[in-house]
């Protein structure tokens, strides 16, 4: 995607008609070049109206993230997170993993207005739209090895749920191991990737995707029940406000997790678990699907289910749950 496309969309972000000639002149480009750049907008999930004599207008106003406002909000909260936002990237987590290997400090966060190759769990792609999603990653360094970070994705889920609740989203719950849901429909996803020595230290990159305001064309591309912040919040927060709240909540959670592990998050996570006590269908890679009932979450973050008269501990990377 060209920088000109994003620059032009910023001129159109208010949702009003703007002369193509005026936009092209302000950007130092020709009308023809501008027209070609705006033809890429549908790839970003953006619909544009072009009316002779009136110019261009977005079907819906578009809110870009205000990086300065996010950083200021984090500073007021006493956060040590260093925040950056870019227009386009393949994957914030992929790039942050590279930065981690190059020595980036703990608390480095990278957000993107649009990801071309966002990743979800089990190799799935994360579907997003410019202005309709929040996609960001956070690097956190732990002295312990990756084997001692069990429950980190669950602690992140609690932090995301708390931030959404604080921003007016009601009926927020979590789904093991890394989803946040409203009425059993996904509103946010979490992907934790770690690197480092067996005994530590460990660098963890936590990728977060939040459905903020999804248009029908985007919803049609998602293969599971989803919901967005705009349809779930009592008063819809700005994307900037919500991102700042999410980062501050994650900062507090990971600081506590670094000191005490999953223990202080276990009860809050149980209270939020949408599938607690529910009958489910367990789909494990390389195994035959079987019916079970959710019992609890273990101290290491494993999900405990009852199946065929015995208790089974499920590992987060190997299973998928479906309510039956």
Indicate whether 150 and 16 sit together in one domain: no
How far is residue 200's CA from residue 217's CA, in Å, rounded to a whole number?
44
Q: Known catalytic residue: 121?
A: yes
Please count the other Cβ atoms lying within 10 Å of the Cβ belonging to residue 260.
10
Q: Per DSSP, which regions of the chain are E strands? A: 48-51, 55-58, 82-89, 108-115, 133-142, 172-175, 179-182, 185-196, 202-211, 279-284, 290-297, 303-307, 310-314, 319-323
Whether cis (ω within 30° of 0) applies to the bond prior to 201 is yes
Indicate whether 143 and 87 sit together in one domain: yes
How far is residue 268's CA from residue 119's CA, in Å, rounded to a whole number?
27
- CATH number at 40 reads 1.10.10.10
- SS3 state at 168: coil
Q: Which domain does 48 fall in, by range? A: 3-58
Of the chain, the percentage scoring pLDDT greater than 90 comes to 72
Tens digit of each residue's pLDDT (9 = 90 or more) over 196-254: 887 889 999 999 999 999 877 676 677 788 899 999 998 999 999 999 999 999 999 99
Q: Known catalytic residue: 270?
A: no
Taken in order 40, 42, 44, 48, is the CA torsion positive or negative?
A: positive
pLDDT of residue 125: 64
Indicate whether 130 and 261 sit together in one domain: yes
Indicate whether 105 and 235 sit together in one domain: yes
Cβ(90)–Cβ(260) under 8 Å?
no
Indicate whether 205 and 266 sit together in one domain: yes
Indicate whether 226 and 301 sit together in one domain: no
Indicate whether 180 and 75 sit together in one domain: yes
Indicate whether 120 and 226 sit together in one domain: yes
Tens digit of each residue's pLDDT (9 = 90 or more) over 52-105: 989 999 998 999 999 999 999 999 999 989 999 999 999 999 999 999 999 999
Indicate whether 139 and 197 sit together in one domain: yes
Indicate whether 264 and 281 sit together in one domain: no
Cβ(147)–Cβ(310) under 8 Å?
no
Q: Known catalytic residue: 186?
A: yes
Residue 315 CA: distances (Å) to CA of 15, 53, 144, 194, 283: 47, 60, 20, 16, 12
| Residue of 122, 171, 166 lying closest to 284 (CA atoms) | 122
Q: Which of 171, 221, 322, 324 is catalytic?
A: 322
- Per DSSP, helices labelled H in the chain are 3-12, 20-26, 31-38, 67-76, 92-101, 152-166, 216-219, 239-260, 263-272
Q: Which of 119, 186, 213, 266 is catalytic?
A: 186
- CATH number at 286 reads 2.30.30.100
Last residue of a domain, one of 38, 58, 78: 58
Last residue of a domain, one of 37, 58, 79: 58
How far is residue 18's CA from residue 56's CA, in Å, rounded to a whole number?
5
Indicate whether 190 and 224 sit together in one domain: yes
Indicate whether 129 and 196 sit together in one domain: yes
* Structural domain total, the chain: 3
- CATH number at 265 reads 3.30.930.10
Banded model confidence at residue 317, pLDDT cuts 50, 70, 90: very low
Does 311 score more than 70 pLDDT?
yes
Tens digit of each residue's pLDDT (9 = 90 or more) over 136-169: 999 999 998 888 898 999 999 999 999 999 999 9
How far is residue 119's CA from residue 128's CA, in Å, rounded to a whole number?
11
């Amino acid at each position: 995607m060209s920088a000109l496309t994003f620059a032009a969309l910023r001129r159109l972000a208010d949702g009003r008609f703007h002369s193509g000639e005026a936009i092209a002149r302000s950007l130092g480009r020709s009308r023809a070049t501008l027209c070609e750049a705006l033809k890429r907008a549908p790839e970003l999930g953006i619909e544009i109206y072009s009316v002779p004599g009136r110019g261009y207008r977005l079907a819906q106003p578009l809110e870009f993230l205000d990086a300065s406002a996010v950083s200021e909000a984090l500073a007021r909260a006493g956060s040590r997170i260093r925040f950056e936002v870019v227009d386009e990237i393949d994957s914030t987590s992929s790039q942050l993993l590279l930065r981690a290997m190059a020595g980036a400090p703990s608390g480095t966060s990278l957000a993107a207005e649009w990801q071309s190759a966002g990743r979800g769990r089990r190799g799935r792609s994360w579907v997003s739209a410019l202005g309709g999603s929040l996609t960001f990653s956070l690097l956190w360094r732990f002295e312990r090895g990756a084997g001692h970070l069990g429950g980190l994705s669950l602690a992140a889920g609690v932090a995301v749920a708390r931030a959404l609740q604080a921003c007016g989203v009601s009926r927020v719950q979590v789904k093991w191991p890394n989803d946040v849901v409203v009425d059993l429909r996904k509103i946010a996803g979490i992907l934790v990737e770690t690197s480092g020595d067996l005994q530590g230290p460990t660098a963890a990159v936590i990728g977060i995707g939040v459905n903020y305001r999804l248009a029908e064309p985007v919803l049609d591309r998602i293969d599971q029940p989803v919901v967005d912040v705009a349809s779930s919040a009592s008063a819809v927060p700005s994307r900037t406000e919500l991102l700042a709240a999410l980062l501050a909540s994650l900062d507090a959670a990971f600081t506590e997790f670094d000191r005490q592990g999953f223990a202080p998050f276990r009860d809050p996570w149980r209270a939020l678990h949408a599938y607690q006590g529910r009958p489910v269908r367990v789909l494990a890679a390389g195994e035959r699907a079987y019916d079970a009932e959710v019992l609890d979450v273990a101290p290491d973050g494993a999900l405990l289910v009852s199946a065929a008269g015995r208790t089974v501990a499920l590992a987060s990377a190997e299973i998928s749950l479906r309510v039956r």
